[in-house]
Amino acid sequence: MSRREVRDFVTVTRDDLGATLDEIEHRVSPKELSKQAIHWVSTSYDRNPGRWLLGIALGAVASVAAILWAVTSDD
């Protein structure tokens, strides 16, 4: 390989690596991850809202129970 071919190869490889790193940075950005999470939750809720409502209700009961336990304990 001549010097010019090596330089061209390095330039192309560097550009490809830069594009790959930009794509990775985009995919793991907080904004993109939050969009994916919101989409997942929305889709999951649309498929089976009963489980989500049950989970929310259990979480609320557990929170109230923990608060009542903390307030009424003798510690």
pLDDT in tens, 2-36: 999 999 999 999 999 999 999 999 999 999 999 99
Can you list the alpha helix ranges (DSSP code H) found in 1-75? 3-27, 30-47, 49-72
Which domain covers residue 68, as residue numbers?
3-72
Model pLDDT, residue 1: 81
Count: domains in the chain: 1
Higher pLDDT, 41 or 74: 41
Say how far apart CA 40 and CA 52 lie, in whole Å: 13
Percent of the chain with pLDDT over 70: 99
Say how far apart CA 28 and CA 22 lie, in whole Å: 10
Percent of the chain with pLDDT over 90: 93
Model pLDDT, residue 75: 67
pTM of the entire structure?
A: 0.57
Query: Could you tell me the sign of the dihedral formed by the alpha carbons of 37, 43, 48, 52, in that order?
Result: positive
Contact 23, 30 (CB under 8 A): no
